[in-house]
Amino acid sequence: MLAVVGLWIFLDAAVAAASQLPAEIAVRGGYASPKPFWEAGARLDEYGINAVFVHSGSLSAELIARARAEGAKVYAEFPTLNGKGYVERHPEAWPINERGEREPPATWFMGVCPTEPKFRAFRMRELEQLLERFEIDGVWMDYVHWHAQFEEPEPVLPETCFSPTCLAAFEAATGIRLPEGATSERARWILANHEKAWRDWRCRVIADWAAEMRRIIERRRPKILLGIYHAPWTDEEFSGARRRILGLDFDLLAPLMDVFSPMVYHARMGRPAAWVRDYIEWFSRRLGIERGRRPHLWPIVQAHGEPRAVSAAEFAEVMRGGASGAASGLMMFTLRSVAEDAEKMKALRALYQGR
């Protein structure tokens, strides 16, 4: 009987060791406020969580102090190019499509014109205020793309933005003189005659947002990190839409970022759980990421049960997939989704602590 008990203990320890993430995953995080964890009577350090990524609007001095007391660093998610709530009050910032019309929301997301000067000044003031108010460990840029929706099995990929500020900025940056005429005519002319210059310029606009945010951080809190949540597409997917439509050029962004956090939300995007590992390994090769060197790779995987349920076993699989390649950190969307599921809590403890 003692031999059987000993075998069970050995097997339990072996299963825990097999479940635990490799030691190279130094940052063991979670996205969203940790309050649901605390309301469930848990502590972050009990589950091996040493980093929380919290929407900037949900931060408080009390939250930061408690997270730090439990051994966790605090990073602020910053809704960079999310125009919802702003474009309705400031229609000049509404993204304009190739027909010269306001582009409607892309499912639940509403973007913005990235060159509209008042909006940019508004967001940069918000960043300054965030850094003045809270002693955080980093800022993660979110919604960093031209108006579109990539978090769907069939993404929404409109052609934007042909606003007056964008057309004027394109002319100034490239020296290409646009013909007179209606916005729709000018848009057709650009796409027919100077599409490459247009796509390249749009990528530089996004990179310039990152560059200015980097300058503000270096001036206000030079020791903190700048990270980016971004679409998890390869260079070829959807006819190159990550760069062509979203304006995300990894080569332009890499010198500006401390951390890349691909949003490998498999269930939201209609992908199998195994896709998470495939993408993280591809991304590691694509950027030539090396652990211990900037930029770092800290993916964010899906625990949230929408648009379909994500089981504890599936959650564990995508966590292990996110920890593959050259990843040195990991987090899940969301902490609440784990805190409200006892089996996911067990899986998280096994993954982060091996017990």
Per-residue confidence (pLDDT) for residue 354, from 0 to 100: 86
Question: Which residue segments constitute the domains of the chain, with CATH numbers given?
Answer: 23-160+202-353 (3.20.20.80)
Q: Report pLDDT digits (tens) over 25-34.
A: 999 999 999 9
State the maximum Cα–Cα separation within the chain, in Å, rounded to a whole number: 89
pLDDT at 8 over 60: no
Q: Average pLDDT, stretch 237-262?
A: 98
Length of the chain: 355
Q: Which ranges constitute the DSSP H helices of the chain? A: 2-19, 35-39, 61-69, 117-133, 164-174, 183-193, 195-220, 237-244, 250-253, 274-287, 312-322, 335-339, 342-353
Q: Report pLDDT digits (tens) over 299-340.
A: 999 999 999 999 999 999 999 999 999 999 999 999 999 999
Per-residue confidence (pLDDT) for residue 185, from 0 to 100: 98
pLDDT at 244 over 90: yes
Q: How far apart are CA 52 and CA 31, in angstroms?
A: 6
Percent of the chain with pLDDT over 70: 95
Per-residue confidence (pLDDT) for residue 17, from 0 to 100: 41
Q: Average pLDDT, stretch 251-275?
A: 98
Q: What angle do CA 344, 349, 350 make, to 5 degrees?
A: 95
Per-residue confidence (pLDDT) for residue 16, from 0 to 100: 42
Q: Report pLDDT digits (tens) over 151-208.
A: 999 999 999 999 999 999 999 999 999 999 999 999 999 999 999 999 999 999 999 9
DSSP string, 234-301: -SSHHHHHHHHTS---HHHHGGG-SEEEEEE-TTTTT--THHHHHHHHHHHHHHT--TTSSSEE--EE
Per-residue confidence (pLDDT) for residue 114, from 0 to 100: 98
The dihedral over CA atoms of 264, 21, 224, 293, expressed in degrees to the nearest 10, equals -90
Per-residue confidence (pLDDT) for residue 238, from 0 to 100: 98
Each residue of 66-97: b (16+ CB within 10 Å) or e? bbeebebbbbbbbbbbbbeebbeebeebbbbb
pLDDT category of residue 109 using cuts at 50, 70 and 90: very high
Q: Average pLDDT, stretch 87-99?
A: 98
Q: Average pLDDT, stretch 242-254?
A: 98
pLDDT at 3 over 90: no
Closest C-alpha to 346, from 321, 319, 323: 319
pLDDT at 145 over 60: yes
**pTM, two decimal places:** 0.94
Per-residue confidence (pLDDT) for residue 355, from 0 to 100: 76
pLDDT at 41 over 70: yes
pLDDT category of residue 19 using cuts at 50, 70 and 90: confident
Per-residue confidence (pLDDT) for residue 45, from 0 to 100: 98
pLDDT at 18 over 80: no
Per-residue confidence (pLDDT) for residue 302, from 0 to 100: 98
